[in-house]
Amino acid sequence: MKIVVTGAAGFIGSNIVRGLNARGISEIIAVDDLRDGDKFRNLADLHIADYVDHTVFYERFANGVYGPVEAVFHEGACSDTMETDGRYMMDNNYGVSCQLWTACQAQGTRLLYASSAATYGGSSSFVETPEFEQPLNVYGYSKLLFDQRLRRAMGGDFKRNQAQVVGFRYFNVYGPREQHKGRMASVAFHQFHQFKQDGHVKLFGEYGGYAAGEQERDFVFIDDVVAVNLWFFDHPQQSGLFNLGSGRAQPFNDVALAVVNAELAAQGKQPLALGEAVAQQLIRYIPFPDALRGKYQCFTQADLKALRASGCDHEFADVQTGVGSYMQWLAKV
């Protein structure tokens, strides 16, 4: 069984390769852009059959160079929500995805691809239907346009296709193998290093009607993301567009407190309540940045009705559990 993973040296892609390896699958073509050479570290302990640069893969795949491929996990994209080059974003996220989908349908290859909760943008509801899609940046729009393209081509519900097509609207994913993402790495990643360096963590202050640190996001642990991807891989009859979050909104304060208490536990100290951590200045608040005003989602929470209706009953970790596990991993690398 031959599998392709695009963005394979990235955060989610490398974890999907890891998940496939855990099943004994190593006939994997890894596709990525390694101009950032340090990303090799995400592949170094994994087993793949071949590596192909993203600049040549898509045309070769469309021409059948790689022979029969069972499925493509398409994680490759520019995920920088602050990127303002719309031409680059549309070519990289929309155009390439369209080319890949066309080739997959022609060859009978299943496509499981990364969409994003950024497609909802300014919406206060997070259901996989057009009335709730209000992207706030060109990244969110590039992801939404591909979702829309597939809706039109496949009768609105992704059912009219030659092979399985599944889109995952990822919410705030965190966990191992995201160190290369720089400013786009998760809050938990940055706070781990803040605490190590400064002895405290930082959060945005009041904004959007939310008190300091109380803006809420649906934080989802990477192991849960991989598990859901693989569930759909195991159920090729299921196609559609699905939210992939925990279904549970939690404030950034919960993340910060989980980081702080994990570090305190590593020092043999007792956990603190939020008020205690703030009083001891282990959690500190900074002014909300002007550059993000009007472009920031203060609340996200995945509606999981469609996911559950598909038959996927995976149980997601809460922030305390997932972040605690992640902090242990970071402490070892």
Task: Convert the pLDDT of each residue in 238-287 to its tens digit.
Answer: 999 999 999 999 999 999 999 999 999 999 999 999 999 999 999 999 99
Q: What value, to the nearest 5°, has the Cα angle with vertex 282 and ends 281 and 283?
A: 85
CA atoms of 190 and 175, how far apart (whole Å): 11
Task: Convert the pLDDT of each residue in 29-74 to its tens digit.
Answer: 999 999 999 999 999 999 999 999 999 999 999 999 999 999 999 9
Residue 99 in contact with residue 58, Cβ under 8 Å?
A: yes
Q: pLDDT band for position 83 (50/70/90)?
A: confident
Kindly give the pairing relationship between strand 172-174 and strand 165-170. Answer: unpaired
The residues, ordered by sequence, that sit 6+ positions from 301 with a Cβ below 8 Å of its Cβ are 126, 216, 218, 245, 247, 248, 249
Q: What value, to the nearest 5°, has the Cα angle with vertex 36 and ends 31 and 42?
A: 60
Helices marked H in the chain: 11-22, 54-62, 86-89, 96-107, 138-153, 187-198, 222-234, 252-266, 274-279, 305-309, 319-332
CA atoms of 123 and 25, how far apart (whole Å): 39
- Residue 145 predicted with pLDDT over 90: yes
pLDDT of residue 283: 98
pLDDT of residue 180: 93
Hey, which residues are catalytic here? 139, 181
Q: pLDDT band for position 296 (50/70/90)?
A: confident
Give the phi and the psi of residue 221 in degrees, each rounded to 5: -75, 140
The residues, ordered by sequence, that sit 6+ positions from 165 with a Cβ below 8 Å of its Cβ are 101, 104, 105, 110, 111, 112, 113, 150, 154, 158, 239
Please state, rounded to an integer, the average pLDDT across all residues of the chain. 95
Q: Which amino acid is at 59?
A: E
CA atoms of 217 and 240, how far apart (whole Å): 24
pLDDT of residue 178: 97
Q: What is the mean pLDDT of residues 200-227?
A: 97
Task: Convert the pLDDT of each residue in 124-135 to its tens digit.
Answer: 999 999 999 999
DSSP state string for 131-150? GG---SSHHHHHHHHHHHHH
